[in-house]
Structure 1
Amino acid sequence: MSDEEDLSAWGDALAEQADSEDGASDDPWGDALSEQADVEAANADAESISSAAFDELASERGDSKNKVDLDVLMDIPVTLQLEIGRAKVSIRNLLSYTQGSVVEMDRLAGEPLDLLVNGTLIAHGEVVVINDKFGVRLTDVVSPQERIKKLK
C-alpha cells in the first residue's frame, strides 16, 4: 500500500467512527446499556414521587350517633302489583275470548293474593272493599331472609 492509500484508509476509518458516534451505532450492547441507564434514571425519578395518603376506613355499624338517614330513600317510587293467579293459554284460545269469557286461574277461591313490589314477592293478602274501593289486607309478610333466599 502506498502512503496515499494509507491516508485514505485512515480518513475512511475516522469518518466511519464519527458517523457511529452521531447516533447510528452498530453496537447492540452499547445501545442496551444506555437504554438500561435511561430506565434506571426514570425509576429513580418515580421513587421520588410520593403516593397519596388516605384515611383508613372504619366500620360504623352499631354506632348510634352515625345512623343512616333513610329519608333519602323514602321518595323513590316503586311498582306494586297484586297477583290473583296465573293461567297459560294458547293464542287460539286467547283470540277466542269475548266480553263475558271466564279465564280459569291456577289458584283456588279464597287463597291469598301475592303482593309484588318491583316484581319481588313481599306479602300475601286478601281483597277488601272500603268505601266502594278495592284494597288489600296483608295477612302474611315475607321475611327479609326468605326474600334473600329467593334472589339466589
Structure 2
Amino acid sequence: MAAAIAQEAAEAASAAPSAPPPGSRPVDMPELGAGLSGSREPQAIDMLRDVDLNVKIELGRSRMLVDDVLRLGEGSVVELDKLAGDPVDVFVNNRLVARGEVLVLNDNFCVRINDIVNREGEADEEEE
C-alpha cells in the first residue's frame, strides 16, 4: 500500500506544473532554428569583405652574413634556396595558405594558385 501511495504522489508531482520562483517572469526566446539558416552567412562575410589583409609571396630564402649583406650593391645576385620553377609560398597575415607558380601577365608578375595548404601546412590537391 505504501508503494501505491508513493507512486500516486510521484505521478501527481510530475503532472502538476511547478510554480515559478517569486519575482520571476517569462522570457521570450526565438525559435531554435531562427537565425541559423544559410541566409545569414553571406551577411556575416559581407562585413569582412573590406578588411585589409597582408598578402606576401615568398620566392625563396637565403642566409647571409652581415658582411655579405653590406657588400650588396646594384647588380648583386642573391641565391635563394628554391630553383626556378619551384612553387612559391603564398602567405596571408604571415600564415602559409597556398602554393603557386610565378607567371608574367602584361609585364607584371603574378601567381597562379596550384595548391591550398591545410592547417598542418600540407598541400591539399586543388579540386578542378
TM-score range, shorter chain: 0.5 to 0.7
Residue matched to 1:115: 90
Distance 1:121 1:65 in 2: 29
Q: Which of 1 and 2 has higher RCO (CA within 8 Å, sep 6+)? A: 2
Q: Structure 1: where are the runs of 5+ without partners? A: 1-48
**What's the CA shift string for 1:64-120, capped at 9, x where partnerless?**
366322101111110110000111111111001111111111112211110111111
Matched, 1:67 2:9: no
Structure 1 length normalisation: TM-score?
A: 0.53
Relative to structure 1, is the Cα distance of residues 55 and 137 closer, same or farther in structure 2, using a 3 angstrom cutoff? same
User: How far did 1:55 drift?
Assistant: 6.7
Residue matched to 1:93: 68
Distance 1:55 1:86 in 2: 60
Relative to structure 1, is the Cα distance of residues 67 and 103 closer, same or farther in structure 2, using a 3 angstrom cutoff? same
**SS of 1:93 mapped into structure 2:** helix
Structure 2 counterpart of 1:133, one-letter code: N
Distance 1:135 1:93 in 2: 30
Q: Which runs of 4+ in 1 moved over 2 A?
A: 49-60, 63-68
Relative to structure 1, is the Cα distance of residues 53 and 123 closer, same or farther in structure 2, using a 3 angstrom cutoff? farther
Relative to structure 1, is the Cα distance of residues 66 and 130 closer, same or farther in structure 2, using a 3 angstrom cutoff? closer
- Of all paired residues, the percent bearing the same amino acid is 39
